[in-house]
Structure 1
Amino acid sequence: MTRLYAILAAVFVAALVGGAWFASRGGDRDDQFSQCRSSKIAGGSDTIGGPFELLNANGETVTDKDVITKPSLVYFGYTFCPDVCPLDVARNAETIDLLDDRGLDVTPVFISVDPERDTPEVVGDFAANLHERMIGLTGSLEQVKAASRAYKTYYKKQDGDEDYYLVDHSTFSYLVLPDVGFVEFFRRDETPEQIADKVGCFVENL
């Protein structure tokens, strides 16, 4: 009987642990990317991203459907940024090259939060100088504000000279998948290799 009790106890503990593990993953049962996620979004990933309407480098109006035709790494910044933006966008461009080496086609996207100075031509030149496939986008004040609000980014123009002012802004990069939407964000302290590994997981599980 003692041996039987021991076996039953072991089965009970195993079931308890297994049940706890299953419960802890209960919200991920139907999530095809559960093994890829490293961030938890308050309210869920569905609360970030969505439709936008902006201007491309040619001054043409484009929507998110026109832009996000492949897995895309999206960053909100501005071309006059003295330090953070060039480093972050260059990091994202390097990430894209690493993914290319792995046979994964991902598009880098740069959205300006400084539409007063960042004309379509300026944004287009900035993006092209960072990566040949990078899409540069800008728009009216209202269009940019709507896109920023959709992705829950922050930006604020600082006081200064009419032509020489800074813009405070958040520095996340967003992975957005066509027909899926936003799935993950990356902080600026993450390396190209770390981001490429995470992006690769999502792309390979599409």
Structure 2
Amino acid sequence: MNLLVMFSRSARLRALLALLAPVALAACDAPAPSVSEEPPLAGATIGGPFTLTGEDGTDVSWNDFDGQYRIVYFGYAYCPDICPTDVQRAMAGLKQFEDANPALGAQVQPLFVTIDPERDTAEVVGEFTENFHPRLIGLTGSAEQIADVAQTFAVAYSRGEEGQNGGYLMNHSAVTYLFGPDGEPLATLPTDQGPEAVAAELARWVK
């Protein structure tokens, strides 16, 4: 990757993260669901087994995380705004939840899946994820693999028009999913409401 491009993109990303940094920890005191209350996505046909390429170039499978809760976001590293904002808020919320509930927080594995495999190599997604959380794992793969996984997780995406400099944007669903220990869909995390709301939603369903 061109070093100037890497520096420019990293500098912009650091500036964005500084603006979005949470000013206080959430109490994570959302009311616990009643015994009869089901998660919002209970029974939904979202998610399923896959094998993609991790940041170190090795295979990473959905089943590798059996027994753990999973946060899953589909986006791309070259996204100028929405993806870094959503991921920053989700990971800041996870950090708040971890601080308030260390044992439970350790049971949550965050995953970032690219929808732009042409540019998002294992190295690129690794550079992206390291800005947000030490346990966030970036995943890439072939165009066919990504298309299959996106369909399994009910994520739509398309490539935008190419600009004069050869760059392009990706149009895609911006949903942050929470899955349970058996890989079952539980809820979406409200990144649009900020890290505190994310931490509260995690406290509601991670038990």
Cross-structure match for 1:87: 85
Q: 1:55 to 1:156 in 2, by over 3 A?
A: same
Q: Per-residue CA shift, 1:94-134, capped at 9, x if unaligned? A: 01111111222222211100000000111011111211111
Of 139, 142, 150, 1:140 maps to 142
Q: Which residue of 1 aligns with 2:170?
A: 167
**8 Å Cα contact 2:86-2:192 kept in structure 1:** no
**Higher RCO structure, 1 or 2 (CA under 8 Å, sep 6+):** 2
CA shift digits 1:55-80 (9 cap, x unpaired): 10011122101245521211000000
Kindly indicate whether residue 50 of structure 2 is the aligned counterpart of residue 47 of structure 1: no
1:120–1:137 CA contact under 8 A, matched in 2? yes
Q: 1:82 to 1:34 in 2, by over 3 A?
A: farther
The percent identity for this pair of structures is 38
Q: What 5-or-longer segments of structure 1 have no aligned partner? A: 1-31
Q: State TM-score, norm by structure 2.
A: 0.75
- Residue of structure 1 equivalent to 2:8: none
**Are residue 98 (structure 1) and residue 96 (structure 2) matched?**
yes
Distance 2:135 2:36 in 1: 29
Alpha-carbon distance change, 187 to 196 in structure 1, aligned in 2, over 3 angstroms: closer
Deviations 1:17-76 (A, max 9, x none): xxxxxxxxxxxxxxx975363x4x5xx633111111111001112210124552121100
CA contact (8 A) 1:171 1:188 kept: no
CA contact (8 A) 2:47 2:183 kept: no
Cα 1:140–1:148, aligned 2, differ >3 Å: closer, same or farther?
same
**Is the 1:77–1:85 contact (alpha carbons within 8 Å) kept by the matching residues of 2?**
yes
**Contact 1:68–1:176, Cα closer than 8 Å, also in 2:** no
Alignment: residue pair count? 170
Contact 1:36 1:201 in 2 (8 A): no
1:182 aligned to 182, 185, 196, which one? 185
- Structure 1 residues 189 and 159, CA gap change in structure 2 (3 angstroms): same
Could you say which residue in structure 2 is the equivalent of 1:129?
Answer: 131
Letter in 1 for 2:138: G
Structure 2 CA distance, aligned partners of 1:165 and 1:33?
A: 48
Aligned to 1:76: 74
Q: Deviation at 1:193?
A: 1.6
CA 188–167 in structure 1, closer or farther in 2 if over 3 Å, else same: same
- Taking the aligned partners of 1:33 and 1:195, their CA distance within structure 2 comes to 22
More helix by share: 1
CA RMSD of the aligned region, Å?
A: 2.2
C-alpha distance in 1 between matches for 2:143 and 2:71:
23
SS of residue paired to 2:148: helix
Superposition deviation, residue 144 in structure 1: 0.6
The residue number in structure 2 matching 1:194 is: 197
CA distance in 1: counterparts of 2:61 and 2:191, whole angstroms: 26
TM-score (norm 1): 0.75
Structure 2 residue runs without a partner (length 5+): 1-33
> Deviation of residue 84 (structure 1)?
0.3
Distance in structure 2 (CA, Å) of the matches to 1:163 and 1:122: 18
Distance 1:68 1:137 in 2: 17
